């Protein structure tokens, strides 16, 4: 506990903490186990640490699954505007669309892209996703091991994004490099450089698709209308930028925890290998257990939320990995149990901004497990290869060395 917050005398000292997830994770080896300690209370606290995307001297942290759902569902009180800050890196102010829009604008734009991520659309692209998965697995199959993150986990989502966008697969190295620099670099200049390069690339493609539409996602956007008017370039750019950022790091991070777990639990690994029909249900429990995303909102007005007085403009953090291990929500929440009867989860968020790519993420994870376990023999962590989690924004392993 802290002795209080000098800049916020309105907050009682017993509501203030200096909680450092990175340090806690280092102590126990797993961010989810470290985060679950927050359920000892309080359910809402003001955090002074630099961790968990804290800004401006502190943020509120909400730990319980039911309270996080409430925050994420009440967009009129908890606003999404400006939460990512990606356009600010460029010195600009266009929003990532639709994630940085509130009602009613959010749903108007979301309706434009909902059909592109429906279960039916996932059925249509499944063969291509499976083809990419098999190609990546076959590239390492006979090596006896690999660094999983670079060989597979970060490669597959980029391949899928390029297929959706109708962009050449030959660009995979460039897009992966931009993603790594924007999401993982500590150097602001490097992040800005990658963002500028991606923006220029996307604007060029947007211009080409306006001149000659095809049947890809960008063409869908440039030919779509909203209130009987075509979308302008900023709107299309915001949508494309969001789909790129949202779809790459999250899937890779989730795969990193899944494969680290399977490497350490050979019985579970071999059960899924011998009974692949169980994989889809197992994926639901794996997603439940590994909520990798840290989301946030800004208060639109002074309020009292479950007895806690908050000010307009305060940042409210909802780390989904904390809620995914809430014992009030799940029995033995820290136990991975693929026979769990209920796998209702908050790992994709909740409310109007719930992850639009949830069906795609499920499909990528399911196909990965099906093809990997069918082609790779029993695998394990390499000696001295204990993975070290990165817990900034999206929780995941930077490297994961496997051998078989």
Proportion of the chain above pLDDT 90, given as a percent: 56
Spatial separation of the C-alpha atoms in residues 45 and 11, rounded to whole Å: 9
What is the CB-side half-sphere exposure of residue 306 using CA atoms within 13 A?
Answer: 13
Helix or strand (DSSP H, E) at 299: strand 294-299
- What would the two tokens of residue 385 be? 């290869």
pTM: 0.92
pLDDT at 105: 86
Q: What is the pLDDT of residue 339?
A: 93
For the 13-403 domain, the top CATH level (class) is mainly alpha
State the pLDDT at residue 1. 44
Q: What is the rounded CA–CA span in Å between residue 15 and residue 71?
A: 18
Strand 16-17 to 44-47 pairing:
parallel
- Bond into 41 cis (ω within 30): no
Q: Where are the domains of the chain?
A: 13-403
**pLDDT, the chain, mean:** 89
Does 2 score more than 70 pLDDT?
no
Cα atoms in the Cβ-side hemisphere of radius 13 Å centred on 81: 13
Is 337 a residue whose pLDDT tops 70? yes
Q: In sequence order, what E strands does 132-271 have?
A: 145-147, 225-226, 229-230
d(CA 106, CA 96): 11
pLDDT (0 to 100) of residue 19 = 86
pLDDT at 52: 52
Task: Give yes or no for residue 261 having a pLDDT over 90.
Answer: yes
Q: For the chain, how many residues are written? A: 404
pLDDT of residue 385: 76
In this predicted model, what pLDDT tens digit does every residue of 284-313 receive, in sequence order? 999 999 999 999 999 999 999 999 999 999
pLDDT given for residue 49 in this prediction: 67
What is the C-alpha to C-alpha distance for residues 364 and 144, in angstroms, rounded to an integer? 23
The separation between CA 327 and the C-alpha centre of its own chain, rounded to angstroms, equals 22
Average pLDDT over residues 7-24: 87
Other beta carbons within 10 angstroms of residue 174's beta carbon come to: 14
| Strand positions, DSSP E, 114-166 | 145-147
In the predicted model, is pLDDT for residue 55 greater than 60? no
CA distance 49 to 18: 5
User: Which of residues 105 and 60 earns the better pLDDT score?
Assistant: 60
Tens of pLDDT along 367-390?
999 999 999 999 999 998 788 888
DSSP assignment letter at 149: I
Confidence band for 163, pLDDT divided at 50, 70 and 90: confident
Distance CA 343, CA 375 (A): 28
Tell me the torsion sign for CA atoms 10, 15, 17, 21.
negative
CB contact at 8 A, 140 and 371: no
Range list of H helices, 212-232 = 217-223
CB distance 362 to 305 below 8 Å = no
The CA distances from residue 33 to 54, 131, 300, in Å, are 21, 35, 33
Q: In what helix (H) or strand (E) does residue 303 lie, and over which residues does it extend?
A: strand 303-305
Question: Mean pLDDT, to the nearest integer, of 154-165?
Answer: 88
The segment with the largest mean pLDDT, out of 9-23, 41-55, 364-378, 381-395, is: 364-378
Is pLDDT at 85 greater than 80 in this prediction?
Answer: no
The per-residue pLDDT for 50 is 55
DSSP for 306-367 reads: TTEEE-TT-EEEEEHHHHTT-TTTSTTTTS--TT-S-----TT--GGGS-TTHHHHHHHHHH
């Amino acid at each position: 506990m802290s002795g209080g917050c000098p800049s916020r005398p309105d907050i009682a000292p017993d509501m203030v903490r200096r909680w450092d997830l990175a340090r806690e994770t280092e102590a126990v080896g797993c961010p989810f186990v470290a985060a679950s300690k927050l359920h000892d209370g309080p359910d809402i606290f003001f955090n002074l640490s630099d961790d968990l995307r804290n800004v401006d001297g502190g943020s509120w942290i909400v730990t319980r699954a039911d309270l996080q759902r409430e925050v994420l569902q009440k967009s009129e009180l908890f606003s999404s505007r400006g939460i990512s800050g990606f356009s600010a890196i460029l010195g600009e102010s266009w929003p990532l669309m639709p994630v940085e829009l509130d009602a009613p604008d959010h749903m108007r734009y979301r309706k434009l892209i909902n059909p592109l991520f429906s279960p039916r659309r996932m059925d249509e692209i499944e063969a291509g996703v499976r083809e990419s998965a098999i190609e990546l697995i076959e590239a390492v199959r006979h090596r006896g091991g690999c660094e999983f993150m670079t060989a597979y986990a970060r490669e597959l989502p980029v391949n899928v994004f390029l297929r959706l966008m109708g962009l050449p697969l030959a660009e995979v190295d460039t897009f992966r490099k931009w993603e790594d620099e924007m999401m993982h670099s500590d150097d602001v200049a490097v992040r800005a450089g990658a963002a500028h390069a991606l923006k220029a690339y996307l604007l060029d493609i947007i211009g080409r698709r306006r001149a000659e539409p095809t049947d890809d996602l960008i063409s869908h956007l440039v030919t779509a209308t909203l209130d009987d008017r075509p979308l302008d370039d900023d709107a299309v750019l915001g949508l494309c930028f969001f789909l790129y950022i949202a779809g790459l790091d999250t899937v890779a991070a989730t795969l990193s925890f899944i494969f680290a777990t399977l490497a350490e639990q050979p019985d579970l690994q071999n059960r899924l290998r011998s009974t692949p029909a169980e994989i889809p249900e197992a994926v639901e429990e794996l997603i439940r257990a590994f909520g990798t995303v840290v989301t946030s909102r800004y208060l639109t007005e002074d309020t009292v939320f479950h007895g806690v007085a908050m000010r307009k403009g305060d940042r409210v953090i909802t780390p989904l990995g904390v809620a995914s291990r809430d014992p009030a929500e799940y029995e033995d929440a820290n136990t991975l149990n693929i026979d769990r009867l209920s796998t209702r989860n908050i790992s994709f968020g909740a409310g109007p901004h719930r992850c639009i790519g949830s069906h795609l993420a499920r499909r990528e994870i399911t196909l990965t497990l099906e093809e990997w376990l069918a082609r790779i023999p029993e695998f394990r962590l390499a000696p001295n290869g204990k993975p070290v989690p990165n817990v900034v924004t999206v929780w995941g392993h930077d490297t994961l060395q496997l051998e078989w």
